Amino acid sequence: MGCVHGKCCSRYPSSSSDGDSGHHREKKPYKCKHILTQRSLQLVPVPSHNFTLQCSALTQHGYYPDTVERENQDSFCIKTQIQGNPNVHFFGVFDGHGQFGAQCSNFVKDRLIEMLSSDSTLLDDPRKAYNSAFLATNSELHNSEIDDTMSGTTAITVLVVGDTLYVANVGDSRAVMAVKDGDRILAEDLSEDQTPFRKDECERVKLCGARVLSVDQVEGLKDPNIQDWGDEESQGGDPPRLWVPNGMYPGTAFTRSVGDSTAESIGVIAVPEIKVVRLTPNHLFFVVASDGVFEFLPSQTVVNMAAAYTDPRDACAAIAGESYKLWLDNENRTDDITIIIVQIKGLSNSGASATDGGVDSRPMVMRSIKGSLDMCSVSESETYSSVKSDFSDTQQSCQHSVSMNRSAAIVVPSPMRQRPLQLDVG
């Protein structure tokens, strides 16, 4: 969920039409390639703890009947062996929005991992490195040739360092872990959507001058003094949005993003919320996806569907296909849909090596501080593609990268490989 009218920030007059040159800059579009390739299955060893990550990704172009030529604004990145370290790997999904959303998404996809990979303090202080990379990328985007006054991107990223995950989120895309609990597989959110539905985020942006109102409230159809919008599950059709004090823009339904320089003036920040998770044998796989997946599918449903397949390529295809169908059942369009599934194979309690590389091992800690898969070889064998936050810390890194954007066809898995993951209930 992004800006008014499907993540576009200008259902209402934008700054370029009101004569305020302070909100608009003449900039050339950022040139990015959209490469179509086949889905790939990637095996990524983590030798320090004797387990393997098996992953795949898929991005599905959204269907917009009024703008059929609209490009996919999602991108993603899978990069392994960051800084040449075989135990450090990065997964990210970036969901662009606004007129130049695709350019913003691809710019952030590229620059964020480049900054993490070049940060010499990455392994010493992943949180600090993550935070610095997000803020620096945001600053670079503001100063780039891309006009991000009313465009930007979310970013949901997972950095694997040995047996520890650092999950950094800006926006309303999501990461979810599948956890074995007896004979059940439970979904555990690794990120929390940053939207005005969250009371802490709502109060924070109000202190920055934002008006928080739904479209019906802005248009006078509902009382603007009622500042209770229920929850996202029941009120997602007309969510609370952010507006400047004396204008009808930008109308963002998220409280954090990279880019969106106009919304930044009312509290939309690029500071990530970072969660740290120590892996155990009960962690089966994690999903990183744009809100094109989670708009109509709860986290538990996504985990249930992913667990029904041994091959993550088929799981990605099934989830993307179901998401696409639900969009068309509920609306006359679909959002772009991007998903990465990473299975954790062979992790045991005795698998860790003697040294842990100084990685923080505290499980399930969230801290706040102020402040494709279609693959094409790229230099340093990288894998790229395009998918929340208070004040936080950070980290990430990798060395194999691929860029891809898929066609608008609905994808369906081959039923032959539809075997559920086997649980060892022991």
pLDDT in tens, 323-370: 999 999 999 999 999 999 999 999 987 654 433 433 333 333 333 333
Structure tokens, 82? 């960051």
Residue in 116, 50, 162, 123 with CA at minimum distance from that of residue 398: 116
Contact 272, 409 (CB under 8 A): no
Strand partners, 250: 243
Which pLDDT score is estimated for 412? 46
Burial of residue 421 (CB within 10 Å: 0-12, 13-18, 19+) is: middle
Contact 129, 393 (CB under 8 A): no
pLDDT band at 226 (very low <50, low <70, confident <90, very high): confident
Which pLDDT score is estimated for 12? 37
278-332 tens-digit pLDDT: 999 999 999 999 999 999 999 999 999 999 999 999 999 999 999 999 999 999 9
Contact 73, 386 (CB under 8 A): yes
Average pLDDT over residues 230-234: 63
DSSP code for 201: H
The region of weakest confidence among 98-102, 328-332, 350-354, 398-402 is 398-402
Which pLDDT score is estimated for 67? 85
Residue 122 has pLDDT above 70, yes or no: yes
Scanning the structure block, which residue is given the tokens 């994808």?
Answer: 411
Structure tokens, 193? 């959507």
Helix (H) or strand (E) segment spanning residue 158: strand 155-161
**pLDDT cut 70: percent of the chain above it:** 71
- For 377-414, give one letter per residue: b (16+ CB within 10 A) or e: ebeeebbbbbbbbbbbbbbbbbbbbbbbbbeeebbebe
Average pLDDT over residues 86-91: 98
**pLDDT cut 90: percent of the chain above it:** 64
Mean pLDDT over the full length of the chain: 79
169-225 tens-digit pLDDT: 999 999 999 999 999 999 999 999 999 999 999 999 999 999 999 888 888 888 788
Residue 374 has pLDDT above 80, yes or no: no
Report how far residue 271's alpha carbon sits from residue 136's, in angstroms, rounded to the nearest whole number. 10
Helix (H) or strand (E) segment spanning residue 141: helix 126-142
DSSP code for 129: H
Q: Which whole-number Å values give the CA distances from 216 to 109, 164, 206, 235, 243, in the listed order?
A: 34, 44, 19, 12, 13
